[in-house]
Amino acid sequence: PGVVPYLEEPKDLPLETPLDLPVATLSSGGDVVSGSGWDRISADMVDMETYAVARAARTFGIPLIGLCGVSDGPGELAGAHDWHKLLGYLDGELAKAVDLLAEHFA
């Protein structure tokens, strides 16, 4: 799980940041993962879009800072309300990260 077919890329990409923020490893989510399937994932997070951008950045030697608000995980979702409960919190935390970026690069 987590391997993109026909690519010679690692299953998990390490992500780095110059900021005082948590750092994670990223997997592509090469297959649909839910419930106990998370036990087979070694990365800290799974996000196909960020993985694709990170892969392109690696290919061209361009630095990347990926900010993601992770709204799901190993727990089963009972409905959209489970996801909606986190949105306000995630928005606030991402706003703090953007402020840190602005301060760092000012």
With bands split at pLDDT 50, 70 and 90, how would you rate the model's confidence at 42? confident
With residue 57 as reference, give the H or E element that holds it: helix 48-60
Q: Is 30 in a helix, a strand, or coil?
A: coil
Q: What is the pLDDT of residues 80-97, one digit of tens each?
A: 777 787 888 889 989 999
Other CB atoms within 10 A of residue 93 CB: 14
* Domain range summary for the chain, segments of one domain joined by +: 12-105
Q: What is the pLDDT of residues 51-78, one digit of tens each?
A: 888 888 988 999 888 888 877 655 666 7
Residue 75 has what pLDDT?
64
With bands split at pLDDT 50, 70 and 90, how would you rate the model's confidence at 33? low
Residue 25 has what pLDDT?
81
Alpha-carbon gap, residue 22 to 2, rounded angstroms:
22
Please, what is the average pLDDT of the chain? 79
Nearest to 33 by CA among 69, 7, 72: 72
